Copies of this chain bind each other. A is one copy, B any other.
Amino acid sequence: MKNEEPEKDYTTEKKIKEAARKIFHQKGYAATKTRDIAEEAGINLALLNYYFRSKRNLFDLVMAESFGQFFFSIRSILNDESTTLGQKIDVFAKVYINLLNDNPNLPIFVLSEIQANPEWFQKALGLNKKMISSSALFRQIQEHLKKVGKEHINAFHVVLNMLAMTIFPFVGRPVLVKLTGMDDAAFHDFVNERKTFIPMWIKNMLQLTD
């Protein structure tokens, strides 16, 4: 019998999946060749189909995982009934920027694949109207906006601004880097500054003095 999980990252299956994730994130589904994945993983082309049946199947696995990271990883934060609005805003920026620092291509990958193939996501992932509007974050923003006399502002605007200010630097990263002359380290410092700036800006938007 085999020893219990010696180094899981070096199994052929893991190598292929990890290589696929890397190339898919970089190039997208259509531009990725199965031979590119095989080369990146350092394995024979046929092993890809041996372990994963098809390119599409492998992609679906990667996408499900990526989509989960992108969307569901922060749900527990935003749905936590025991934290204040100010706390949620603080922790969101920190956690999400950390996530994106580790997966800088994740946003464009997910969003462009959805744009190219919107029907697929309808059934594949269970996105529904309730997911945001029933969240604790959304309700707390609504309540706060009313308290400060700004109930004419749809709370979605505020949520969207949080997401936009956090995610967009990574979506526009290649252009931003060219446009500012930042190298990878400088970009890293720049977005990390935003961990404190974004909560400040959002609270300012809400006139939240917390």
A51 contacts the other chain (CB 8 A) = no
A178, B59: Cα distance in complex, Å: 22
A133 nearest in chain B by CB position: B180
Which A residues from 71 to 129 make CB contacts under 8 A with B? 71, 105, 108, 111-112, 114-116, 118, 121-122, 127-129
The answer to whether B172 touches A111 (Cβ under 8 A) is yes
A129, B181: Cα distance in complex, Å: 5
- Selected contact of A180 from candidates B105, B156, B163, B174, CB within 8 Å: B156
Distance (whole angstroms) from the CB of A196 to the closest CB of chain B = 11
- Selected contact of A115 from candidates B105, B127, B160, CB within 8 Å: B105
Distance (whole angstroms) from the CB of A205 to the closest CB of chain B = 5
A61 contacts the other chain (CB 8 A) = no
A19 contacts the other chain (CB 8 A) = no
The answer to whether A193 touches B157 (Cβ under 8 A) is yes
A153 nearest in chain B by CB position: B197
Q: Which residues of B contact A133 (CB under 8 A)?
A: 180
Task: List chain A positions with a Cβ less than 8 A from chain B.
Answer: 26-31, 71, 105, 108, 111-112, 114-116, 118, 121-122, 127-129, 131-133, 153-154, 156-157, 160-161, 163-165, 167-169, 171-176, 178-181, 190, 193-194, 197, 201, 204-205
Distance (whole angstroms) from the CB of A120 to the closest CB of chain B = 11
The answer to whether B28 touches A116 (Cβ under 8 A) is yes
Q: Identify 8 new A-B residue pairs, CB closer than 8 A, beyond the known A127-B175, A160-B169.
A: A31-B31, A71-B175, A114-B174, A157-B193, A165-B165, A167-B172, A168-B168, A201-B205
A205 nearest in chain B by CB position: B201
Distance (whole angstroms) from the CB of A138 to the closest CB of chain B = 10
The answer to whether A111 touches B175 (Cβ under 8 A) is yes
Most buried by B among A121, A132, A190, A201: A201
A178, B30: Cα distance in complex, Å: 24
